[in-house]
């Protein structure tokens, strides 16, 4: 999730085109959940395989 100057946005790197934007974090979390479900349902209905996760999250510690 990213916070902009007037809104919040989210995207799913492993599901191209799956994005959401809203006025609050809570709204974006709800919208991105719905967007993921919608995209995956469409992929299944078209007979395609679901994308395999390729992204990862890593954290590093910086001593500054």
Domain ranges of the chain: 2-45
pTM of this structure? 0.80
Q: What is the mean pLDDT of residues 47-60?
A: 91
Look up residue 13 and give its two tokens. 């790197």
What was the pLDDT predicted at 51? 86
Q: What is the mean pLDDT of residues 46-50?
A: 94
Q: Is 90 exceeded by the pLDDT of residue 27?
A: yes
Count of Cβ atoms closer than 10 Å to residue 56 Cβ:
6
Helix and strand tally (H, E) in the chain? 1, 3
Q: What is the mean pLDDT of residues 37-60?
A: 93
Q: Is 17 exposed, middle or buried (0-12, 13-18, 19+ CB in 10 A)?
A: exposed
């Amino acid at each position: 999730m990213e916070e902009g100057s007037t809104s919040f946005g989210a995207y799913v790197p492993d599901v191209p085109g799956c994005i959401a934007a809203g006025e609050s974090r809570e709204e974006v979390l709800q919208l991105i959940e719905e967007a993921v479900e919608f995209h995956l349902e469409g992929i299944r209905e078209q007979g395609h395989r679901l994308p395999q996760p390729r992204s990862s999250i890593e954290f590093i510690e910086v001593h500054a």
